[in-house]
Amino acid sequence: MTMADTKDERARAWWAAWWEADYSWAGLARKPVGENGRRVHGGLHGERTLQDYWRRDPETGAVRDDASMRAAGELVDCDGVPFHIVHLPPATKAGAPTWKADLGDSGWEKCEALIAARVAAGAETAVDSWADAHVPDGRAQLAGAVLRSAAAHPQGKQSPQHLEVSLTAWLGGVDYRETLFGPGARFHSATFSGDARFDSATFSGSARFESARFSGDAWFQSATFSEDARFESATFSGDAGFESASFSGYAGFESSTFSGYVWFGSATFWGDASFASATLSGNVSFHSAAFWGAAVFDRATISGQAAFQSAMFSGYARFEGAKFTGDVGFQSATFSGVALFQSATFLADAWFHWAAFAGYAGFDRCVFRSVADFTGAARTPRREGSEQVLEFAPATAEGGFAGALKMPAGLEPIARAGFQRCSFERAIFHDTANFSNRAFTALARFDSAEFRGVPIFHDAVIGQGVRLHLAKFDLPWRTADAWADAQIADARKAHREMVTEAKAKNEDPPKAELPSRQSLLDARFAELELAFRTLKLAMENIRDRDREQTFYRYELICRRRQSTTFWGERLFSQGYGLIANYGGSLFRPIATLAILTVLFGLGYWAWAAALQDRALVLWGPGGVQNDAWDALLFSANNVFRPFNAWGAEADQSAWLKALLAARTGEEGVVHGGGWRLAIRLVATLQSLFAIVLAFLFALAVRRRFQIS
């Protein structure tokens, strides 16, 4: 059956499949009873087909012919085709209504009396996991029936109902609350047009609801599924409630569709549970649910808010390729086994704070579009020799939930505080990634991860096993301007929506209170500065000098970008970054020193020429003029022999003596003591620059080669 997009389209598709299956009186003769593969076990009284089943009177055992059944009013025509009244549809193929379209029609009383007799005559049947009979089938054969409401057992709800209701339609509300269903209750491809109530119902065998369609609300609160519960490809158009339900076997919801709110709060899954490829359009709650087996949500799509707070995952939990459109909360959840979220997409906030990860946690290739909060409960370092495995109390003898979470003494705070082993390879954090108070005490991989928001690791314990190869932490400050523009655009959009809403209500529009761009940038860079300082100190603790210097550089850049920082500090920081890349470059200080040596040499040469009233001629018949070489030599002397300009002049050339004496020629006019002082001060400034650049080069060498 093709899954349509709307409730009406789904209803039309279901009825098209029902007509194609052909539950006319002639069609019933082609539908075997007790079919299991190629073998047909038949019914308890030798019935081979559904037509045989409905010919037999369950009270007298008489097998009736068509004329007798017409005389009894059980066979009627629909578009000239005979139908048993139990299978009569509410409308013809052309859409003309039958009496079943009116739920108050008196014909329903006779129909439901026939159904009650069949339910009362139903007998327990040995079935396989697919609810196919191993022996002659004694269940009430209501497949393809068109009913008004739930068929009550004449002896009360505690008398088990043994039903085969595949492709059956309920046109009104269904009340099966506290009903006991025998083994092999099969509702495959059934449709419930109204609300379906199965609260506190007990399914003593497997419950088969594959491809069932619930047009109204479906309630299974406190229901007990003693064996497998199969809801694969089921469609829930209204709300679906499974709160406090107990699933003893496999719980299958693969490819199911939930359009309304979904509640699985405090539900207990004793076996494996699968919601793979399920579509959940409304809010979803698994609050305090207990998964004792595997929990699989691969490729599931949850469009509303998803609540997994305090949920317990005893086996492995898989959310690979899942997509969360709304906020998702795993606060205080417990993952005792492997937790796999590879390639999952979180379009809104993702909350994992205080979640306990006792096993491996995989978040490779995850995309976090909004806040990702992995805050730990406390900073508790791992103790050597402690086994990082959670133990859970087994089920009680009665099959109840023992409930206690058992773990070795002192292990719970470790599990809630840190990741024992985790991987965030190639994960992308578009907004704040908060790992405060988390302990990364074993292998933790962040290789090629991208932090486009603020990376917060305050009070985190980062051990030697943390890998950050090719991880990108520089994107937040590089894209800060675009971030601020986006924040202002969002604020303007929100204000326009508020104005539109106010006008629609004939109210005064609110005043625009938009944040200034600079205030946004200052707050952003202040937060980044603190975050990078924390990472710098963490890298210092594990002696990772390269990354320590990298985060130190990011810290200074973010401090410089704040308008509240003193302008002089910002100026020196800009120069520090330009000349030495904040202590991270070996090449820049040496290159800067060489360039300054040449520039100062040219300056001295031009200065001397000006004092001597000579033209600036660098290149002569013999090549570079000697005065130029003397000027370059003087500049280099100030680099390698700092403050030499204040020393004796005995070994100086005639050109240099004239420059330092500030005279024209060797016997010319002296220009005054001020010039002599100025020349020496400039030379001293050059020596200071040289010392600073040499220090920056040495500092870069020390950091690069980790020289103590």
- Of the listed ranges 32-36, 353-357, 604-608, 632-636, the one predicted with least confidence: 604-608
How far from 143 is each of 51, 223, 477, CA to CA, in Å? Answer: 12, 23, 65
Name the β-bridge partners of 367. Answer: 345, 428
Per-residue pLDDT, 242: 98
Residue 342 pLDDT exceeds 90:
yes
Task: Give the Cα separation of 336 and 315 in Å (integer).
Answer: 7
Q: What is the pTM of this model?
A: 0.83
Assign residue 311 a region: left if phi > 0, alpha if psi is -120 to 50, beta otherwise?
A: beta
| Chain-centroid distance, C-alpha 468 | 21
Per-residue pLDDT, 624: 53
Per-residue pLDDT, 400: 42
Per-residue pLDDT, 271: 96
Please state, rounded to an integer, the average pLDDT across all residues of the chain.
88
**Two tokens, residue 213:** 């369609």
* Mean pLDDT along residues 286-309: 97
Question: Which tops the pLDDT comparison, 642 or 313?
Answer: 313
- Of the listed ranges 102-116, 159-173, 413-427, the one predicted with least confidence: 413-427
Per-residue pLDDT, 633: 86
Residue 457 pLDDT exceeds 90:
yes
How far from 360 is each of 154, 291, 554, CA to CA, in Å? Answer: 54, 17, 31
Query: Which residue, among 479, 458, 473, 472, has the nearest Cα to 531 in the 3D structure?
Result: 458
- pLDDT tier at 397, thresholds 50, 70, 90: very low
- Of the listed ranges 152-166, 226-240, 648-662, the one predicted with least confidence: 648-662
Question: Which tops the pLDDT comparison, 609 or 357?
Answer: 357
Cβ-count burial 420-451 (b if 16+ within 10 Å, e if not): bbbbbbbbbbbbbbbbbbbbbbbbbbbebbbb
- pLDDT tier at 615, thresholds 50, 70, 90: low
- Of the listed ranges 347-361, 457-471, 475-489, 500-514, the one predicted with least confidence: 500-514
How large a percentage of the chain has pLDDT more than 70? 88
Cβ-count burial 367-389 (b if 16+ within 10 Å, e if not): bbbbbbbbbbbebbebeeeeebe
Report the alpha-carbon angle 245-246-247, nearest 5.
Answer: 120
Query: Which residue, among 160, 126, 118, 144, has the nearest Cα to 17 in the 3D structure?
Result: 144
**Two tokens, residue 135:** 């022996």
Task: Give the Cα separation of 554 and 537 in Å (integer).
Answer: 13
Residue 382 pLDDT exceeds 50:
no
* Mean pLDDT along residues 362-369: 98
Question: Which tops the pLDDT comparison, 511 or 355?
Answer: 355
Element spanning 346, H or E: strand 345-346
Per-residue pLDDT, 381: 43
Per-residue pLDDT, 412: 59
| Chain-centroid distance, C-alpha 247 | 26
Residue 330 pLDDT exceeds 80:
yes
Q: Are 634 and 657 in contact (CB under 8 A)?
A: no
Per-residue pLDDT, 663: 56
Per-residue pLDDT, 655: 65
- Of the listed ranges 79-93, 195-209, 451-465, 690-704, the one predicted with least confidence: 690-704
Residue 138 pLDDT exceeds 80:
yes
- pLDDT tier at 660, thresholds 50, 70, 90: low
Per-residue pLDDT, 423: 96
Q: Are 457 and 534 in contact (CB under 8 A)?
A: yes
Task: Give the Cα separation of 114 and 51 in Å (integer).
Answer: 15
Query: Which residue, among 316, 372, 319, has the nearest Cα to 343 in the 3D structure?
Result: 319
Residue 704 pLDDT exceeds 80:
no
Task: Summarize pLDDT for 468-482 with one digit per residue, the tens.
Answer: 999 999 999 999 999
Per-residue pLDDT, 394: 42
Element spanning 274, H or E: strand 273-274
**Two tokens, residue 67:** 């004329």
- Of the listed ranges 188-192, 299-303, 454-458, 691-695, the one predicted with least confidence: 691-695
Pairing of strands 39-40, 35-36: antiparallel
- Gap between the terminal Cα atoms of the chain: 73
Instruction: Quote the DSSP letter at residue 510.
Output: P
Per-residue pLDDT, 380: 46
- Of the listed ranges 492-496, 574-578, 671-675, the one predicted with least confidence: 671-675
Instruction: Give backbone dihedrals phi and psi of 621, rounded to 5 degrees, phi first.
Output: -60, -35
Kindly report the number of other CB atoms within 10 A of residue 517's CB atom. Answer: 13
Instruction: Give backbone dihedrals phi and psi of 416, rounded to 5 degrees, phi first.
Output: -80, -15
Query: Which residue, among 224, 644, 601, has the nearest Cα to 401 in the 3D structure?
Result: 224
Task: Give the Cα separation of 673 and 361 in Å (integer).
Answer: 76
Task: Give the Cα separation of 334 and 411 in Å (integer).
Answer: 12
Q: Are 140 and 120 in contact (CB under 8 A)?
A: no
Task: Give the Cα separation of 19 and 586 in Å (integer).
Answer: 81
Residue 390 pLDDT exceeds 50:
no
